[in-house]
Amino acid sequence: MKQYIRNFSAKAEEALRNLPDEEIAKALNILQAAYERDGRIYVFGNGGSMAIATHWVADFNKTVFDSNLDKHHRRFQAIRLPSTESEITAWANDIGFDMIFAGPLQNYLQDSDAIIAISSSGNSSNVIKAVELAKARHVPVIGVSGFDAGNKLNQLADAKIYVPAETGNYFLVEGIHGVILHMMIKYFKDYFNHLADHSA
C-alpha cells in the first residue's frame, strides 16, 4: 500500500516539476487583459472538469480581493457555463448536449472576454464547439487539457496548459489541473495585495 502511494505521488511530483510555465504565464496575461478591459471570464468543462470549473469560479471571484475589498473597485468577473443546472438540461434536451456550452456562450460573449476550457481528453465535442465559437469571435482561449498533446483543445487554445499522462488517468490530470488553477488564484491574490500595500 505504501508503495502504491509513493508511485502515485511520484507521478504527481513529476507532473508538477514539468508544468508548462510559459503557457501558464500566457494564461495569466490573458486573465489580466480581461480584467483591464472589464471583460468576463467564462469557464466550463464536463464531469470532474465542471466541478473544477465551479470550484475555481467560486474561489477566484471571492478570494482574489477578499483581503482588500475596499481598495479595489473593479473585480474579476468569472462565470461558469452553464450558470444553472436548468440551462444544462434545457440545452441538452431541446437542442443537443453538444450545445450546452456554446449555446449560453453565444448569448453572452463579448470582445473583452476570455475563455477557460477544461477537458482532460481535450476532445469533448461540446467543449470544442464552444472554443471554436470563441476563436471565431477572436476571444482568447485558455485550454486546460491532458493525455495526448495532439488533442483538439490543445491545438486550438491560445494558452496551452497541457498535463501529459496516459489516456484515462483522470486522477492525475484532474488533480494537477486543480493545482494549476489554484496557483492562478494565488498569483492574482498576491499581485493585488502587493498593489494595495504599495498604494497606501
* Residue 195: predicted pLDDT: 83
pLDDT at 147: 92
Q: What is the 3-state secondary structure (H, E, C) of 69-86?
A: CCCCCCCCCEEECCCCHH
| Pick from 26-40, 49-63, 71-85, 154-168: least confident | 71-85
Q: Is the pLDDT confidence value at 70 over 80?
A: no
Which CATH topology does 2-199 take?
Answer: Rossmann fold (3.40.50)
**Where along the chain do its domains lie?**
2-199
Asked if the bond preceding 82 is cis, omega within 30° of 0, the reply is: yes
Q: How does pLDDT run across 151-178, given as a tens digit for each residue?
A: 999 999 999 999 999 999 999 999 999 9
Q: pLDDT band at residue 137, thresholds of 50, 70 and 90?
A: very high
pTM here is: 0.93
Residue 79 scores a pLDDT above 70? yes
Q: Could you give the percent of the chain with pLDDT greater than 70?
A: 97
How far apart CA 35 and CA 44 sit, in angstroms, is 19
